[in-house]
Amino acid sequence: MKWQDVGGMTCSVARSLSLIGDRWTLLVIRNAFLGTRRFDDFHASLGMTRHVLADRLDRLVTAGVLRKEAYQERPTRYEYRLTEMGRDLYPVLLALTGWGDKWLDEGRGAPLVYQHMTCGHMTKPMMVCSECREPVNPREMTVMAGPGLAVNQS
């Protein structure tokens, strides 16, 4: 299977990765969550080539994860903002953050810490069951065919 075909797999992980599984793309999205909006600011903080950055931003706009908005005329300049679809990637970023904080902190602790303004506490976001709100682990989950499963595909 070629990578281009992965998005066609009947699997939400595969479909998600076909859009955002490129190695730079999630760093672009991370920056968008941290408030970066302008091409030059993405470029300055990520240091990828302008060509690769432009390509990734365009793809994210096409996919609907970012929207491109003019913030100045003559010359027209654009900024990139997360759409609702893009903001919905927050759990993906938090999950990657939590894993890196735990396993890849080189013994120094988390680079960034989070406060949940709604309740006021310092927080370590976690993935829980929507019904009982207890943390989920793979040994306590049963996976079943859902309505979107195409029988003849992996």
Residues 129-148 that bind a second copy (CB under 8 A): 129-134, 136-138, 140-148
Rounded Cα distance between 4 and 6, Å, is 6
Q: Interface residues for a second copy in 12-31 (CB under 8 A)?
A: 12-17, 19, 21-24, 26-27, 30
Dmax (CA) for the chain in angstroms is: 58
Q: Minimal distance in Å, beta carbon 71 to a second copy?
A: 20
Kindly tell me which of 70 and 150 has the beta carbon lying closer to a second copy.
Answer: 150
Is 1 an interacting residue with respect to a second copy (CB under 8 A)? yes
Is 48 an interacting residue with respect to a second copy (CB under 8 A)? yes
CA separation, residue 23 to residues 27, 28, 139 (Å) = 8, 10, 29
Q: Interface residues for a second copy in 89-108 (CB under 8 A)?
A: 89-106, 108
Kindly tell me which of 72 and 130 has the beta carbon lying closer to a second copy.
Answer: 130
Number of residues near a second copy (by CB under 8 A)? 89
Q: Which two tokens stand for residue 3?
A: 């990578």
Name all contacts of 124-133 with Cβ < 8 Å and 24+ positions apart.
Answer: 124/98, 125/91, 125/94, 125/98, 126/98, 127/91, 127/95
